[in-house]
Amino acid sequence: MRLSENLTLAEVTKSATAKRKGISNEPTIEHMENLKAVAQNIFQPVRDHFGKPIAVTSGYRSADLNKAIGGSSTSQHCKGEAIDMDADVFGGVTNREIFEYIKDNLDFDQLIYEFGDENNPDWVHCSFISKGNRRQVLRAVRKNGRTSYELY
């Protein structure tokens, strides 16, 4: 099933951890609607702007899968409202370019510059909700072995 022209449901639900541990990662109808909104308002505009394949390294996560990977209990991935994109998988564009494009051109709830260095994040997390997007821009950093988030 296509969520947008260049993004399928299989791409946003694929999980090696779920497969290995026998965890169901099937979204509900509500989660599917949220995934379509993220695909059409975040992923597809990025894909169209750069004209290059963009890998989704994390999309929907069932509550059991999220717990298995140690994800935040408030993760928008569990609602189908967030995706993680990594341009390094296919090349042709950088994660920094994706981050800056979203920040400057799209409506979003949260945009996170995930780790990396001053030049390029390791990946880009972006969420979208149907109403009331906060346009919150953060940077994920490690402090004392733990992840924390700072305003970008």
Domain spans, the chain: 2-151
Going by their DSSP bridges, the two strands 136-143 and 110-114 should be labelled as parallel
Separation of alpha carbons 3 and 1, rounded Å: 7
Question: Rounded distance, CA 25 to CA 12, Å?
Answer: 10
For residue range 52-73, list pLDDT tens digits in order.
999 999 999 999 999 999 998 8
Mean predicted confidence (pLDDT) in 74-102: 96
pLDDT more than 70, % of the chain: 100
Query: What is the rounded average pLDDT of the residues 32-39?
Result: 98
As a whole number, the mean pLDDT across the chain is 96
pLDDT category at 137 given cuts 50, 70, 90 is very high
HSE-CB for 63 with a 13 A CA cutoff: 3
The answer for residues whose C-beta is within 8 angstroms of residue 43's C-beta and 6 or more apart is 3, 4, 6, 7, 54, 56, 83, 85
CA atoms of 150 and 29, how far apart (whole Å): 33
Mean pLDDT, rounded, for 81-102: 96
**Is CATH 3.30.1380.10 correct for 2-151?**
yes
Q: How confident is the model at residue 109, as a pLDDT?
A: 98
